[in-house]
Amino acid sequence: MENLQALKQRFGIIGNDFHLNRTLEKAVRVAPTDISVLVTGESGVGKESIPKIIHSLSHRKHAKYIAVNCGAIPEGTIDSELFGHEKGAFTGATQDRKGYFEVTDGGTIFLDEVGELPLTTQVRLLRVLENGEFMKVGSSKVLKTNVRIVAATNINMQSAIEKNKFREDLYYRLSTIEIHLPALRARNEDIHLLFRKFASDFAQKYRMPSIRLDENAVNILLNYRFPGNIRQLKNLAEQISVIEEERSISGAKLKQYLPSDKDNLPAVIGRKRDTDFSTERDIMYKVLFDMRNDINDLKKLTLDFIKKGNLEEVQEEHHQLIEKIYGDKETKDHNVEVLNISQNSSTDKAYEFIETIEEDESLSLQDKEIEMIQKSLEKNSNKRKLAAKELGISERTLYRKIKQYNL
């Protein structure tokens, strides 16, 4: 326990929470080995402290330690940053450059926001973890490196793997030992302690008396969720220290600096994304099924009417079905008009309503061919070479057609 307190003082870690102590113990135990470590936790919980502890307590402590924020490097240049590049490998590569893995040989490299790495870079990183080999961008020469990799992320890695945003094999290589840092709201006893430390630091920095919270303000502080964790608490202490003249802070005054309570509502889990069209698809299916049922009902009504020939009887027998299709109001306000055709009418009268379609245009291929040849010749002033080219046939074929049709 004494060693743990000394470690906290050395690295400026404040708090006595059981989960925090357990996390630090794991970091101390894993430090002497070369095992890859993945640090997980929400944004703002202080994940960058764990790699520093691991490096300082390892046999690599006299070698280089480099922290790389993978989320801050553009996708097009991250391979060059990590693995280096040869002169002329891409536009602007005017000289050879060593990457972080080559520079940190023998030391420790901390890959922050490792979940933001592009898939192509993840393949290269996997090879480094497997056998310590890598190639510079634009080079075919294999280089060796001996680095310890400590990675950190604030995203749900299992979810990223399911969405094919992170390689599963790389995840298992990185997370040989996984160290999770608890969120600030899970360290309730440490919140006021941290606030007092930050208030004291800012009082020294800005040369003013330290702020103090009354009992009501302390209760409000402890009950707040702090989605931004320690970073948010530190910013809160700095804001109040600079802005408030009164050094004693009441609960009402503290509330002015905290976001609204509506932000503390539980998050909805499993909500479908905007890109998920399953809801729209279900609606379309329902509409189509309803339309099919309506058509079947109409077919049934029509068939019964044809068989019986009595409108009133059909309406009385199927009034519920008619109300379902057309609605009760429509059936009352609108009378259905039915055209009764006598079955004893003469054959001549049976077709008096049929529209006669006159074929006023020839559909013969030969006639169309003659017409196209004539139009092409007229358009090109009877120049057979140009007409043949426009029609897409040879001059010889055009001569034969002209002779055949006596054009």
The packing angle between helices 365-379 and 384-391, to 10°, is 130
Which stretch of DSSP H or E encloses residue 19?
helix 18-30
Q: Residue length, the chain?
A: 407
Determine the pLDDT at residue 238: 95
| Helix extents (H) in 182-277 | 188-206, 215-223, 229-243, 251-255
| Cα separation values, 300 from 66, 279, 307, 315, 341, Å | 79, 32, 11, 12, 20
189 and 230 assigned to the same domain: yes
Distance CA 151, CA 174 (A): 7
CATH number of the domain bearing residue 13: 3.40.50.300
**What's the structural domain count of the chain?**
4
Of the three residues 138, 164, 182, the one that is the final residue of a domain is 182
The two three-digit tokens of residue 131, written as one number: 């056998």
Tell me: do 309 and 374 sit in the same domain: no
Tens of pLDDT along the chain (407 residues)?
558 899 999 999 999 999 999 999 999 999 999 999 999 999 999 999 999 999 999 999 999 999 999 999 998 899 999 999 999 988 888 999 999 999 999 999 999 999 999 999 999 999 999 999 999 999 999 999 999 999 999 999 999 999 999 999 999 999 999 999 999 999 999 999 999 999 999 999 999 999 999 999 999 999 999 999 999 999 999 999 999 999 999 999 999 999 875 545 454 445 545 444 556 777 887 888 888 887 887 787 777 777 767 767 767 777 777 776 666 544 444 454 555 545 454 444 444 444 444 445 555 677 778 888 888 888 888 888 888 888 888 888 888 888 888 87
Q: Evaluate whether residue 281 is within a structural domain.
A: no
Domain range holding 239? Answer: 185-264
Whether residue 394 lies inside any domain: the answer is yes
Domain for residue 30, yes or no?
yes
User: Both 373 and 237 in a single domain?
Assistant: no
Which pLDDT score, from 0 to 100, does residue 1 have? 53
**Domain CATH for 370:** 1.10.10
Co-location of 388 and 335 in the same domain: no
Residues 209 and 168 reside in one and the same domain: no
206, 160: one domain: no
